[in-house]
Structure 1
Amino acid sequence: MDFKLLKQLYKIHSKSGYEGKIISFVCKWTNKNIQGAKMELDWNTGNIYITKGTAKTYPCMVAHLDQVQKYHPTDFTVIETKDLLFGYSPTERSFCGLGADDKNGIWLCLQCLQKFNEIKVAFFVGEEVGCIGSSKANMEFFNDCRFVIQPDRRGNTDVITHIGFMDICSDDFIKDITPEKFGYTPTEGMMTDVEQLKENGLNVSCINVSCGYYEPHTDNEFTDKNDLMKCLDFIEHIITSCNKVYPHEPGRMKGYDCQLVWWEQYEEMYELVRDSLISDPTLTPTDLHSFYHEEYPLLGLDDFAMICDDAMAELYYERNEDAA
């Protein structure tokens, strides 16, 4: 696998609103390596649309070009230790976020562009600040797509089939992709481009898949290469096996289902807040809300305040227990 390409992507800093360098890199790489592909750059948005081959219908992948980290030191480098990749600044002696969210997704899209004869790929700007690019997507590009896959989820086990109380794929599609055979489980997720495409009226099944990055949006972000390859195997399986169109009209969850999703987000956020307060007890609910609210949009500032109170109380109790 071309992990050299992955490291090249990591080294290109592309904070939201400043994606010019990564746009240029993807366009040049595609022109050089994907012969005969039709590529369209939307100069108004920065979105990139690529079609390889001629077919009645296409598998489709999407990824976003921006990253949360607002700063890269001039000596930013990618360190590889066994199967892990992380960013580091020798001068500052500090870890640096890779932007693996979602450069892992970009890399996966480029790998599949190389492997498959007929495929469509779209890259969007501004996902991290509200799905800016995908909200202005050229929806005609997706008219002949069988399904849409976005690799933009942390970890190595999730297949996102519901986002924001909206289902984004059909039961038929979930059944045919056999996620359990590849160690994946259908679950709910957060706002990302495939949700926005559904909001735009996309009428085929979509999923968002865990692609091997961890601790996203932080300087401690890292990638597990084995989990990234696991994702690639799963996506290649879907593209190879799912040769029909998987129509789907989104439906909204209501009532009890909404409450379940909120509690799942709350419990997940509690663990993150607890770990954050252990590392830095000076963090406030406002700090944490600012840091995580894009990934956990259902949780407001009041929710974060309550989570902080509960986490601090638990930590205080644990310290007193240890002292006793």
Structure 2
Amino acid sequence: MKLLKQLYKIHSPSGKERAMKKFIRKYVKRRIPDITLKSDRKGNLYMIKGSAETYPCIVAHLDQVQKNHSNDFIPIETKELIFGYSPKHRRPEGLGADDKNGIWIALRCLEKYDALKVAFFVEEEIGCRGSIEADMDFFMDCRFVIQPDRRGCKDLISSIGWTGLCSAEFLKSVGYEKFGYQETDGMMTDVLPLKERGLAVSCINLSCGYYEPHTDREFTVKEDLINCLHWVEHIIETCTDVYPHIYNMYKADGRYAFLWDDEYEEAVNEIFGMLDMDDTLGVDDLEYMYGLYFPHLTKEHFIQIYQAYHDLRQDDLLEESEDYNEEQQDFRNLEFLHQTASFTNGFIRKTDFSDKVASGKCSFIKESQKQENLG
């Protein structure tokens, strides 16, 4: 895990990936022989190891969302987890495991295999700006493309919206059930622009063991990350054919059709959860954080979700206030009844005493009268 923690220590927000690129270049040149490196005008990195007719290919992105990254930031490793922490500020800080976990897998595979292609893209988190301008000739001799850039431990992303990413033959060949994965639909990431720009082979996006991405509570489950690495290695070793796949986007009424209801519902759940943790976030913050993952949401949608959250929150606060007022009224009523009961009991005792005096039934009155008679 030493390499992984080194990657976590490097802060690489979108548009400021220079330190990460510098580290990767130095690491590769020192540790991995027979490798060719190049970059394009956008700043994407491309690596080719060995010489082959066709190559397996891994892609990952260099940037992260989190803004907090103190000078004393440290990744803390336990038996099962890794999370980020600032001792000075006594607060958790995001690892950027989305997608440093993918970078780690790519570098591990570069060290292990004789023939492999790897691409690292900039600015994925703000709209896949790097992969949109990728050098597509780099992928001409690839057998398939794998991107480890999905939270959790079991998702095999074979489509994004209604855009299919891979062939049925490739899905059958990768053996995902053996590693505990299941096929599902995903959100926008770099393999989608590659596919839209003409990538003619199968590609997939995989869960790689990070959780609560884009937050300062982000953490990695080591077992899940290692399982993903082992599966990627299995695909590289067993899928030696080229797996063609032609991009196809279904249309309806001349417009792109997407699984809109599912996307919107997921966006609401994600954003509500984030606002529960930090209700100071504004619409622009939410759009920045989630615009990539929900590419079909407009500014108006983010405003609607934001207002819906705060409307519900206001209702909750009002309900809590009403409950509190009812509790206070109940308390005052109870206090009044208690005081009334005390007064009544005292009055009863006084009245009883007066009655006894009037009737001459009080013992000390009787005794006093007796003494007077004797006198």
Q: Structure 2 length as normaliser, TM-score?
A: 0.79
Partner-residue secondary structure (3-state), 1:45: coil
Q: CA offset at residue 89 of structure 1? A: 0.7
> Is 1:151 equivalent to 2:148 in the alignment?
yes
Q: CA offset at residue 283 of structure 1? A: 4.4
Partner-residue secondary structure (3-state), 1:155: coil
Gaps of 5+ in 1: none
> Is 1:53 equivalent to 2:41 in the alignment?
no
Matches within 5 A, 1:223-234: 223-234=220-231
Matches within 5 A, 1:207-246: 207-246=204-243
Partner-residue secondary structure (3-state), 1:252: coil
Q: CA offset at residue 197 of structure 1? A: 1.2
Whichever residue aligns with residue 261 of structure 1, its letter is: L
Partner-residue secondary structure (3-state), 2:259: helix
Contact kept, 8 Å, 1:165 with 1:254, in 2: the verdict is no
Contact kept, 8 Å, 2:162 with 2:258, in 1: the verdict is no
Q: CA offset at residue 184 of structure 1? A: 1.2
Whichever residue aligns with residue 55 of structure 2, its letter is: Y
Matches within 5 A, 1:155-166: 155-166=152-163
Structure 1 range deviating more: 275-284 or 264-273: 275-284
Percentage of matched positions with identical amino acids: 52
State the match for 2:174 in structure 1.
177
1:262 to 250, 260, 263: 260
Cα separation, 1, equivalents of 2:235 and 2:317: 47
1:39 to 34, 37, 40: 37
State the match for 1:276 in structure 2.
274
Cα separation, 1, equivalents of 2:317 and 2:154: 31
Cα separation, 1, equivalents of 2:71 and 2:43: 25
Partner-residue secondary structure (3-state), 1:270: helix
Q: Are residues 67 and 162 of structure 1, via their aligned partners in 2, closer, same or farther at CA, if it must alter by over 3 Å?
A: same
Cα separation, 2, equivalents of 1:74 and 1:272: 29
> Is 1:14 equivalent to 2:5 in the alignment?
no
Cα separation, 1, equivalents of 2:158 and 2:318: 40
Contact kept, 8 Å, 2:161 with 2:258, in 1: the verdict is no
Q: CA offset at residue 132 of structure 1? A: 2.2
Q: CA offset at residue 194 of structure 1? A: 1.1
2:124 to 122, 127, 152: 127
Partner-residue secondary structure (3-state), 1:114: helix
Whichever residue aligns with residue 184 of structure 2, its letter is: T
Q: CA offset at residue 4 of structure 1? A: 0.3
Contact kept, 8 Å, 1:188 with 1:261, in 2: the verdict is no
Cα separation, 1, equivalents of 2:285 and 2:130: 27
Gaps of 5+ in 2: 328-375
Partner-residue secondary structure (3-state), 1:251: coil
Q: Are residues 319 and 172 of structure 1, via their aligned partners in 2, closer, same or farther at CA, if it must alter by over 3 Å?
A: farther
State the match for 2:352 in structure 1.
none
Contact kept, 8 Å, 1:274 with 1:312, in 2: the verdict is no
* Structure (1/2) with the larger helix percentage: 2
2:191 to 184, 190, 194: 194
Flag the structure with larger Rg: 2
Q: Are residues 10 and 182 of structure 1, via their aligned partners in 2, closer, same or farther at CA, if it must alter by over 3 Å?
A: same
1:292 to 290, 293, 299: 290
Q: CA offset at residue 281 of structure 1? A: 4.0
Q: Are residues 133 and 311 of structure 1, via their aligned partners in 2, closer, same or farther at CA, if it must alter by over 3 Å?
A: closer
> Is 1:73 equivalent to 2:67 in the alignment?
no
Q: Structure 1 length as normaliser, TM-score?
A: 0.90
Q: CA offset at residue 282 of structure 1? A: 4.6
State the match for 2:133 in structure 1.
136
Contact kept, 8 Å, 1:10 with 1:99, in 2: the verdict is yes
Cα separation, 2, equivalents of 1:318 and 1:242: 57
1:102 to 91, 94, 99: 99
- CA deviations on 1:23-47 (whole Å, 9 max, x unpaired) are 11111111111111222233x2222
Whichever residue aligns with residue 12 of structure 2, its letter is: S
State the match for 1:85 in structure 2.
82
Q: CA offset at residue 90 of structure 1? A: 0.7
Alignment RMSD (CA, Å): 2.5
Q: CA offset at residue 202 of structure 1? A: 1.1
Cα separation, 2, equivalents of 1:59 and 1:28: 23
- CA deviations on 1:221-273 (whole Å, 9 max, x unpaired) are 111111101111111111111110001111113459x7772222222222223
Q: CA offset at residue 313 of structure 1? A: 6.4
Whichever residue aligns with residue 217 of structure 1, its letter is: H
Cα separation, 2, equivalents of 1:31 and 1:45: 22
State the match for 2:356 in structure 1.
none
- CA deviations on 1:62-92 (whole Å, 9 max, x unpaired) are 1111112234211111111221111111111
Whichever residue aligns with residue 168 of structure 2, its letter is: D
Contact kept, 8 Å, 1:167 with 1:253, in 2: the verdict is no
Aligned residues: 321
Contact kept, 8 Å, 2:126 with 2:291, in 1: the verdict is no
